[in-house]
Amino acid sequence: MFDSLKEKLGRFEEEVEDEADTAEAADAADQPAEPDPEATDADTDTDTTEGDDDSLTERAKLFASGKSKITEEELEEPLEQLEFALLQGDVEMRVASEIIEGLREELVGQARAQVKSGEVVVREAIGNALLDVIDVGGIDFDEEIAAREKPVTIIFTGVNGVGKTTTIAKLGRYLEERGYSVVLANGDTYRAGANEQLQKHADNLDLKLISHEQGGDPAAVIYDAVEYAEANEVDIVLGDTAGRLHTSNDLMSQLEKIDRVVGPDLTLFADEAVAGQDATKRAEQFDDAAEIDGVVLTKADADSQGGAAISIAEVTGKPILFLGTGQGYDDIEQFDPEVIVDRLTE
Ligand SMILES: Nc1nc2c(ncn2[C@@H]2O[C@H](COP(=O)(O)OP(=O)(O)OP(=O)(O)O)[C@@H](O)[C@H]2O)c(=O)[nH]1
Ligand SMILES: [Mg+2]
């Protein structure tokens, strides 16, 4: 997962270290010659602090304070290359610029000696720059579920085939494992076979499914499921919806109707990590139609670039809550910005 992104960040670190090394070597060549070892010994023995020795100390200080810092020029090439690599990896342009600016700010003026010796400076700067764009605050899923009045209704939106239905099944298990009772609602009354698909997951997971005939009103199905949950003291309603393009006005107005009629507690937008910038753009568009509270990035197991994972929160202002990491019911992990950044910079 995100291997290619990790490699790019590692390459940047190496390049900055090399630059620091080269610059320091060039500076050392400009330095005053080492004092005569014999003279130094003699000085130390007699503990004198005058004459030549003083001016040498001064020059050494100057060397340490001024010249041995990383300059903007030294960073230019590595930063340019990293920006190019991020854009190639489908990181959104504004987000890539922010990362580059963050790195420039943190690294200019750092001691070259620390940088070239591979102490954590560069890696830390990368981590901070990433965290700045990934960690946008917003809701914490577990806390939100615990705190809200039951039943908590969660609706899933997104384009076709990205993994909404699979995510609902995975979250059904996730929530049951945490002690909540769950009912599924099939608001995908559009696609043939959608009821059967979700029924199969419900059977496998031993969950109740509320569904209507194909062609029915999705808002009505989810409304029924909420009523069922209230009558039976079920904690969580997970409502599926049909995949749709943001350009499909009919389907988008269905989402608005669900919003109006059901008033879901949370609306989560699902998209594929592999879709990169497209996923980022779609998240913005869906958020405009029916405001989203968070994002589930599916198929992260197949994504080495990490472009959407890095960009989507910063662009939408909504946190990524989960990563889908495979086709099995347990292949879902909570998206913790710090853990992700640690993984990318380890
Ligand atoms: N590798 C991988 N495959 C996934 C993941 N999530 C879903 N899939 C697969 O993606 C395909 C589509 O999943 P669905 O859950 O049917 O997608 P959907 O968004 O509900 O599709 P529509 O209802 O047609 O819009 C299935 O083959 C899933 O097994 C994931 O995290 N990793
Ligand atoms: Mg589906």
Instruction: Quote the ligand 2 centre to 343 CA distance (angstroms).
Output: 31
- d(CA 294, CA 145) in angstroms, rounded, equals 13
Over residues 115-133, the pLDDT tens digits come to 888 777 899 999 999 999 9
Instruction: Quote the ligand 2 centre to 158 CA distance (angstroms).
Output: 9
**Cβ neighbours for 103, distance < 8 A, ≥ 6 positions apart:** 12, 75, 79, 82, 125, 126, 129
What is the rounded average pLDDT for all residues in the chain?
90
Segment 321-339 shows an average pLDDT of 97
Question: Which amino acid is present at 208?
Answer: K
Query: What is the band of 45 on the pLDDT scale with cuts at 50, 70, 90?
Result: very low
Instruction: Quote the ligand 1 centre to 105 CA distance (angstroms).
Output: 41
CATH architecture entry for 3-134: Up-down Bundle (1.20)
Q: Where in the chain are the domains?
A: 3-134, 141-335
188 CA closest ligand 1 atom index: 23
Over residues 275-288, the pLDDT tens digits come to 999 999 999 999 98
- Probe target for ligand 1 pocket from 204, 298, 303, with the most ligand atoms within 8 Å of CB: 298
CA of 300: how far to CAs of 71, 212, 269, 272, 297, in Å?
37, 32, 15, 7, 7
270 CA closest ligand 1 atom index: 19
Fold for 141-335, please state it.
Rossmann fold (3.40.50)
